[in-house]
Amino acid sequence: MASFNTIDDLDDAQRVLVRLDLNSPVEDGDVQDNRRFQRHATTVKELAEAGHRVVLMAHQGRPGNDTFVSLDQHAEILGGHIDRDIQFVDDIYGDDALDAIDSLEAGEVLLLENTRMSDDELPEEAPEVKAETEFVQTLAPHFDAYINDAYSAAHRKHASLVGFPLVLPAFAGRVMETEYEANTAIANREFDGQVTMVVGGTKATDVIGVMETLGDKIDTFCMGGIASHLFLRAAGYDVGYDRHEDLDLYDTQWENNEAIIRELYEERRDQIKLPEGLAYEDDDGERAEHENEELDAANYDYMDISEATVDKYDPIIRDSDAVFLKGALGVFEEEKFSAGTVGAVKAIAETDCFSVVGGGDTSRSIEMYGMDEGDFDHVSIAGGAYIRALTGDDLPGVELLIDAAN
């Protein structure tokens, strides 16, 4: 397996520019602490305690979304995880940012403003193009090294991820190191017994990509989330349609993927386990369920797989030699719709198998419902990058680190 330089290879007393992924849920304007802060704190604390001058970059949300907010709260949350103050400047590469960077003392930590507030950041472009942006060209001369710790964003070709490795010595942080090693091993590992993948989430294309690429390595796909609704639709049930004009969860994904969904369902019907039914909120605000024959997309929003489906998936998981989970099976943030996700995660935790839970949101369910991360071989905070690793696709942010070391 190709390798990159890590922070173990850094010279002493460096001024380092560190890319993290602190993208988090935002509720009523408040940024929520989550596993990403905890994981990245390991890298930041180690760098600060080693006497480096540490400048952090991260993104939050996308322009136009409610989650697109300043990183001032992130500095306070991350500071609590490393037991030291983190300075914040509401600037990315202007004079205020440069003055704050140049004023740092050994062991001090500074967080720059949301990288996506720069026009240079977001368009997906070649690394050579990003390296020439004003963003990269202005910041780079103020640093000795660049550290990428944002494995969960490593599939993106954004300036903060792919531009700096071309103009600065580039290294991997601890999250990048552990996630890459664990997730790359998954795609290449062989197992003696049954291999099961529990797939959910909101992106049907992720599920389809895994099924196409890993169909010969996975014995059983237990399906939940948006993809399960679309496959149920392919099986002839009345579900997988959008009910609200302001939400586009189903219709566009069905339009773009109908042919491949139908083909996969026909070709891999023995591998694919669909829900026995789905859960919704009744008029009293309580959980209620419809069996598949009762599904009514025009009048109900379905938020979880049914209890019968949990019972169906449980023995499949427990009889497996390896289980991979990608994506929530329902809206587990609401306790009444947590049965699918929590049921699957608990079954995995209690099974003596090789287990990987992937995806930032899904991994959050472990702590939320009182489970122990130590019961799993690996808990990944990555979503898209986890899928890329499983399917063998390149991760530009990782490839550039490997190129820099060779």
> What is the DSSP track for 276-339?
SEEEEE-TTS-EEEEEGGG--TTT----EE-HHHHHHHHHHHHT-SEEEEES-SS-TTSGGG-H
Q: What percent of the chain has pLDDT over 90?
A: 84
Distances (CA, A) of 76 to 15, 35, 53: 21, 15, 18
> Taking 60 as the threshold, does the pLDDT of residue 31 lie above it?
yes
- Listed in sequence order, the residues at least 6 apart from 158 whose beta carbon sits closer than 8 Å to its beta carbon are 59, 115, 121, 122, 124, 130
Among 66-80, 225-239, 244-258, name the one with the lowest average pLDDT: 244-258
> Taking 60 as the threshold, does the pLDDT of residue 1 lie above it?
no
Q: Give tens-digit pLDDT for 62-90.
A: 999 999 999 999 999 999 999 999 999 99
Q: Give tens-digit pLDDT for 173-201.
A: 999 999 998 887 777 788 999 999 999 99
Residue 2 — pLDDT band, cuts 50, 70, 90? low
How far is CA 38 from its chain centroid? 15
**Whole-number Å distance between alpha carbons of 76 and 304:** 34
One-letter identity of residue 101: I
Position with higher pLDDT, 393 vs 105: 105
Q: Span 279-298, mean pLDDT?
A: 97
**Whole-number Å distance between alpha carbons of 288 and 302:** 10
Residue 321 — pLDDT band, cuts 50, 70, 90? very high
Residue 255 — pLDDT band, cuts 50, 70, 90? very high
State residue 363's pLDDT score. Answer: 81
> Taking 90 as the threshold, does the pLDDT of residue 391 lie above it?
no
Residue 360 — pLDDT band, cuts 50, 70, 90? low
Using an 8 Å Cβ cutoff, are 224 and 275 in contact?
yes
Residue 274 — pLDDT band, cuts 50, 70, 90? very high
Q: What percent of the chain has pLDDT over 70?
A: 99
180's tokens: 């890459």
Q: What is the DSSP letter of 240?
A: -
How far is CA 23 from its chain centroid? 9
> Taking 80 as the threshold, does the pLDDT of residue 33 lie above it?
yes
Q: Span 138-159, mean pLDDT?
A: 97
Q: Span 339-361, mean pLDDT?
A: 92
Q: Span 291-303, mean pLDDT?
A: 97
Position with higher pLDDT, 389 vs 249: 249
> Taking 80 as the threshold, does the pLDDT of residue 392 lie above it?
no
Q: What is the DSSP letter of 92?
A: S
Closest CA to 169 of 5, 3, 2, 1: 5
One DSSP character per residue, 146-208 reads EEE--GGGTT---IIIIIGGGTS-EEE-HHHHHHHHHHHHHHH---SS-EEEEE-SS-HHHHH
Helix (H) or strand (E) holding 15: strand 15-19
Closest CA to 173 of 406, 376, 399, 398: 398
> Taking 60 as the threshold, does the pLDDT of residue 338 lie above it?
yes
State residue 82's pLDDT score. Answer: 97
State residue 69's pLDDT score. Answer: 98
Q: Span 313-334, mean pLDDT?
A: 95
One-letter identity of residue 171: F
Q: Span 145-161, mean pLDDT?
A: 97
State residue 245's pLDDT score. Answer: 79
> Hey, which of 103-117, 173-187, 199-213 has the most confident mean pLDDT?
103-117
Query: What is the CB neighbour count within 10 angstroms for residue 90?
Result: 14
